[in-house]
Amino acid sequence: MARREIIPYDPRLKALAHSLRKNMTLSEVLLWNELKQKKMLGFDFDRQKPLDSYIVDFYCKELRLAIEIDGSSHDHVEVLRADGSRQQKLESYGVRFLRFHDLEVKRDMQNVLRAIEGWILENR
């Protein structure tokens, strides 16, 4: 198996990531329950993972896949621009993204899981 390049991160983000793990949103908790312990096709996901100068909601190093849950705060133009810049920077490291809306996770978990599984099967 080819060795994967390690994505650097700002060590000052470790404390914030730890705090975010302790204070996850309901949607993050619900999705984490489906991703943890390699439940998703045997792949290992981390939650609130520092990458470069950012923190992504969920990350699978083997797939270089970040999963983001966007709540209503992401509906604002400034936040959308920041999300785009952040995603573009992380994509320069080879990270790929799946995004789901907070309500989608709460109301339609089965389709969220199907979308993640489909992406993995298509891209691994």
DSSP structure class, residue 9: B
Residue 5's pLDDT is 78
Amino acid at 8: P
The encoded tokens of residue 22 equal 């302790």
Does 118 score more than 60 pLDDT? yes
If you average pLDDT over residues 44-63, what whole number do you get?
A: 97
- The pLDDT value recorded for residue 43 is 98
Residue 4 CA to residue 6 CA, distance in Å, equals 6
Phi and psi of 9, rounded to 5°?
-150, 160
Please give the average per-residue pLDDT across 67-82, as a whole number: 67
Region 45-54 average pLDDT: 97
Report the side by side order of strands in the sheet with 54-60. 46-51, 54-60, 65-70, 96-101
Domain boundaries, the chain: 25-123
Over residues 18-40, the pLDDT tens digits come to: 999 999 999 999 999 999 999 99
Measured in residues, the chain has a length of: 124
67 in helix, strand or coil?
strand
In CATH terms, is domain 25-123 a member of 3.30.450.40? no
User: pLDDT tens for residues 91-110?
Assistant: 999 999 999 999 999 999 99
Radius of gyration of the chain (CA): 14
Is residue 2 predicted with pLDDT exceeding 60?
A: no
Q: How far is CA 20 from CA 50, 75, 113, 116, in A?
A: 11, 21, 22, 22
For residue 78, the model assigns a pLDDT of 62
Q: How much is the pTM? A: 0.89
